[in-house]
Amino acid sequence: MGSADRGRKRAQVVERAQPFSAILLTAFGIVLVVIGMYFAAFRPSLLPEDARYVGASLSQIQAVAPAIATWLRQVFWVLGGYVIATGVLTVYVAQSGIRRRSPAAAVVTAIAGAASIGTMAVVNVLIDSDFKWPLLAIAGVWGVAELLYLFGR
**Domain range list for the chain:** 19-150
Q: What is residue 21's predicted lDDT score, i.e. its pLDDT?
A: 95
pLDDT value, residue 153: 84
pTM flag (> 0.85): no
pLDDT of residue 34: 97
Would you state the pLDDT for residue 152?
Answer: 85
The answer to whether the beta carbons of residues 51 and 61 sit under 8 Å apart is: yes
Of the CA atoms within 13 Å of residue 101, those in its CB half-sphere come to 10
Identify which of 77, 96, 75, 74 has the alpha carbon closest to the alpha carbon of residue 29.
96
| CA nearest to 35, candidates 152, 27, 59 | 27
Let me know: does 24 contact 64? Beta carbons within 8 Å: no
Tens digit of pLDDT at every position of the chain (153 positions)? 666 666 666 555 455 588 999 999 999 999 999 999 999 999 999 999 999 999 999 899 999 999 999 999 999 999 999 999 999 999 999 999 999 999 999 999 999 999 999 999 999 999 999 999 999 999 999 999 999 999 888
pLDDT score for 10: 57
Q: How many whole angstroms separate alpha carbon 68 and alpha carbon 16?
A: 51
What integer pLDDT is reported at residue 99 of this predicted model? Answer: 93
Model pLDDT, residue 3:
62
pLDDT of residue 101: 92
